[in-house]
């Protein structure tokens, strides 16, 4: 069963995810990205792996290539992430070409494994004596973690144990090497987290407790000064004592994803409390309006509270993906009916991940700034190429994030007590196995995210009886003309059931043809930042539904930095089928205030000499932020001056 995070037997997890092949997407935004990921991105990335020497590094260790190691010391991880992406793509749909590529790469990995189980092409051959010599900086366990995740994904997708056998052998070596000093092991961990969540998923795939125990060791040893003693590596404070997100953003959310997995298996209350505190402080003090995290270029790190620059925002694509990974695991733990985790997953997906991936599926952003002069452009690959295969594996696994199931009461074994939770809206179909038995097939009919009308129809019910359908009502689903509304077969849902920020719970004996209809308010809305976010003082951002908007030079005759949006200007949503594959744009009457000629050659002037602004009327056009930089280079702004 190709479930991305398999909590089927996790005693402290509430939700169970769906297999990747249980959901087929056919919506106007996500489905095209998933299709192009399969058809263009994955084959293109395979070519990059070959051309940049990453595959030759494995051939070199296997004795099939006579040449030097090429690239960065953690280049193996890019191969593993690509292989995981291919595995999820194969889980969703057979593809002989991708399967052949995957088999060829697995053969290379098998050939590069040492007799004791070790796999790392940088530390093989001439560097074999340097194994485990610099865990802080050289990412050995990080690479191992991605190998393990790829192996679990490939096994779940294909049933093959070839790569799983490689991974378990390596994981056994890691478990024999690292652990308590009292057992004669090394009390250390990697400078880049990843091994933690990988080992827990390996435990779930194999049932071997030793992998869970090693993962717990790596989580517990961090914060003890055994890595660096620095916030940068999340090593200055034990995780259970942390309150805020610190250090390298990708590493921090990977660590917390692994910790959430550990909570699902052990029920560790102090660890769960720490995760709750950190999630809250991240989302209320250290997250950009896009959902992007990691404010600082220096160290790719979280900044301080309310340190959220625009043009200098780092907001790495990998960090946004890691944020989704963590939020998804927090959702799996949650027994509440509030939508905060699913809301953030959706918002981050559309506004912090999709911008990192071009519409043609062939180029990528590493950083995702919220203001730019037109110089920042996507690249087909990077020397440090962590983001491209990370995007590919998220998109390939995306159908598995649409919905979950829960069994309402411990010990109940019939579908009467089961609940299906619908977290994301997208045209398509989901075939859902209920925990208590029975299968239900749901079809969503919608043009979301462009339109707020959503129909959820029960296509078939097999031995399911009564169950509850919980449908997310996003926290943003409130407007000046009213909040979300809904009905079942024409009978209106009570107003309290469709309040923003909760799930509408609908319990009944479902029959084929039963239909839930939702209408989510999609009127444009203005967002302002906390007063402590200095860069956004006097500025406003635009949103509609789950999408953040920006203004780009290609759509605006005025100089983008000079645009001013009056607070009382009406904002209109217009559908543009011809624009960037089809989109809804926002338009408004605005003004342009260019610097007066007297500023020429001057940096500062006395206030008494400055003339009142002579703003000229213009029309402003905003596009979804995830679509920017898919045309000719031009300035872009998310935060606009208020007038």
pLDDT (tens digit per residue) in 209-248: 999 999 999 999 999 999 999 999 999 999 999 999 999 9
Instruction: Name the residue ranges covered by the structural domains of the chain.
Output: 16-401, 403-519, 525-642
For the ranges 62-76, 143-157, 238-252, 602-616, which has the lowest average pLDDT?
602-616
CA distance 156 to 166: 15
CA distance 378 to 633: 11
The phi-psi region of residue 572 (left if phi > 0; otherwise alpha if psi is between -120 and 50; otherwise beta) is beta
Tell me the pLDDT band of 464, cut-offs 50, 70 and 90. Answer: confident
Say how many CA atoms lie within 13 Å of 533 toward its Cβ.
22
pLDDT (tens digit per residue) in 316-357: 999 999 999 999 999 999 998 899 999 999 999 999 999 999
Q: Is 455 a catalytic residue?
A: no
For the ranges 84-93, 141-150, 481-490, 575-584, which has the lowest average pLDDT?
481-490
pLDDT (tens digit per residue) in 34-72: 999 999 999 999 999 999 999 999 999 999 999 999 999
What is the pLDDT averaged over residues 531-559? 96
Q: Which fold has domain 16-401?
A: Glycosyltransferase (1.50.10)
Are 289 and 307 in contact, with CB atoms under 8 Å apart? no
pLDDT at 478: 87
Asked if residue 196 has pLDDT above 70, the reply is: yes
pLDDT (tens digit per residue) in 279-318: 999 999 999 999 999 999 999 999 999 999 999 999 999 9
Q: Which of 300, 316, 346, 478 is catalytic?
A: 300
CA distance 135 to 118: 15
Q: Is 384 a catalytic residue?
A: no
pLDDT at 395: 98
pLDDT at 79: 98
Q: Which fold has domain 403-519?
A: Maltose phosphorylase, domain 3 (2.60.420)
Tell me the pLDDT band of 611, cut-offs 50, 70 and 90. Answer: confident
CA distance 432 to 206: 24
Structure tokens at 263: 């909570």
Name the pTM for this structure. 0.97
Helix (H), strand (E), coil (C) string for 25-91: ECCCCHHHHHHHHHHHHHHHHHHHHHHCCHHHHHHHHCCCCCCCCCCCCCCHHHHHHHHHHHHHHHH
pLDDT at 595: 82
**What CA–CA distances, in Å, run from 190 to 120, 145, 174, 195, 241?**
14, 10, 12, 8, 20
What is the pLDDT averaged over residues 157-163? 98
pLDDT (tens digit per residue) in 472-524: 999 999 876 778 999 999 999 998 899 999 999 999 999 999 999 999 999 99
Are 394 and 321 in contact, with CB atoms under 8 Å apart? yes
Decide whether 16-401 matches 403-519 in CATH topology: no
Tell me the pLDDT band of 597, cut-offs 50, 70 and 90. Answer: confident
Q: Which of 318, 386, 387, 550 is catalytic?
A: 386
Asked if residue 414 has pLDDT above 60, the reply is: no
Residue-by-residue DSSP string for 234-260: T-SS-GGG--S--SBHHHHHHHHHHHH
Asked if residue 615 has pLDDT above 90, the reply is: no
pLDDT at 285: 98
* Mean pLDDT taken over the chain: 96
pLDDT at 411: 52
Backbone φ and ψ for 241, nearest 5 degrees, come out as -100, -5
Are 46 and 28 in contact, with CB atoms under 8 Å apart? no
């Amino acid at each position: 069963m190709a479930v991305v995070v398999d909590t089927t037997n996790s005693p402290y997890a509430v939700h169970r995810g769906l297999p990747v092949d249980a959901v087929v997407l056919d919506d106007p935004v996500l489905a095209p990205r998933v299709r192009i990921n399969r058809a263009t991105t994955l084959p293109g990335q395979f070519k990059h792996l070959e051309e940049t020497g990453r595959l030759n590094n494995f051939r070199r260790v296997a004795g099939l290539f006579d040449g030097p190691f090429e690239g960065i010391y953690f280049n193996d991880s890019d191969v593993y992430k690509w292989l995981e992406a291919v595995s999820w793509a194969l889980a969703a749909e057979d593809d002989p070409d991708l399967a052949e590529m995957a088999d060829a790469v697995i053969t290379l990995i098998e050939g590069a494994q040492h007799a004791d189980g070790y796999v790392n092409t940088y530390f093989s051959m001439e560097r074999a004596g340097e194994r485990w010599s610099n865990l802080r900086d050289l990412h050995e366990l990080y690479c191992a973690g991605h190998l393990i995740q790829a192996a679990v994904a490939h096994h779940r997708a294909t049933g093959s144990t070839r790569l799983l056998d490689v991974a378990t052998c390596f994981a056994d070596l890691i478990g024999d090497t690292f652990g308590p000093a009292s057992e004669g092991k090394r009390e250390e961990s990697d400078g880049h987290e990843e091994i933690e969540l990988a080992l827990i998923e390996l435990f779930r795939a194999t049932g071997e407790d030793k992998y869970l125990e090693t993962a717990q060791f790596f989580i517990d040893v961090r914060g003890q000064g055994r890595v660096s003693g620095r916030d940068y590596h999340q090593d200055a404070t034990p995780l259970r004592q942390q309150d805020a997100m610190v250090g390298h953003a990708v590493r921090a959310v990977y660590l917390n994803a692994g910790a959430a997995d550990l909570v699902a298996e052990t029920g560790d209350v102090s660890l769960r409390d720490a995760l709750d505190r950190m999630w809250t402080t991240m989302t209320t003090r250290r997250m950009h309006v896009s959902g992007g995290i990691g404010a600082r270029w220096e160290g790719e790190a979280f900044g301080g509270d309310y340190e959220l620059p625009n043009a200098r925002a780092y907001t790495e694509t990998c960090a946004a993906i890691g944020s989704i990974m963590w939020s998804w695991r927090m959702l799996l733990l949650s027994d509440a009916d509030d939508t905060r985790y699913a809301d953030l997953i959706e918002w981050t997906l559309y506004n912090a991940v999709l911008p990192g991936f071009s519409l043609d599926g062939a180029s990528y952003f590493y950083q995702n700034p919220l203001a730019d002069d037109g110089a920042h452009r996507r690249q087909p690959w990077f020397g440090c190429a962590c983001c491209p295969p990370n995007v590919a594996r998220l998109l390939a696994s995306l159908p598995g994030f649409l919905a979950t199931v829960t069994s309402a009461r411990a010990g109940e074994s019939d579908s009467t007590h089961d609940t299906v939770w619908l977290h994301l809206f997208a045209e398509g179909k989901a075939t859902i196995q209920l925990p208590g038995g029975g299968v239900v097939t749901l079809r969503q009919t919608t043009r979301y995210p462009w339109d707020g009308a959503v129909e959820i129809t029960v296509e078939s019910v097999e031995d399911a009886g009564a169950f509850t359908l919980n449908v997310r009502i996003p926290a943003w689903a409130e407007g000046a003309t009213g909040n979300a509304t809904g009905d079942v077969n024409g009978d209106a849902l009570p107003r309290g059931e469709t309040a923003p920020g909760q799930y509408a719970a609908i319990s009944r004996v479902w029959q084929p043809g039963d239909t839930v209809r939702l209408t989510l308010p999609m009127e444009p809305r203005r967002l302002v930042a906390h007063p402590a976010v200095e860069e956004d003082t006097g500025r406003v951002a635009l949103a509609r539904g789950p999408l953040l908007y920006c203004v780009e030079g290609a759509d605006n005759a005025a100089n983008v930095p000079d645009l001013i949006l009056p607070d009382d200007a009406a904002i209109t949503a217009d559908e543009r089928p011809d624009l960037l594959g089809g989109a809804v744009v926002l338009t408004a009457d605005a003004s342009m205030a260019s610097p007066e000629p007297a500023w020429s050659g001057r940096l500062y002037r006395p206030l008494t000499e400055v003339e009142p602004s002579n703003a000229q009327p213009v029309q402003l056009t905003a596009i979804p932020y995830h679509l920017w930089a898919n045309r000719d280079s031009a300035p872009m702004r998310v935060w606009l001056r208020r007038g």
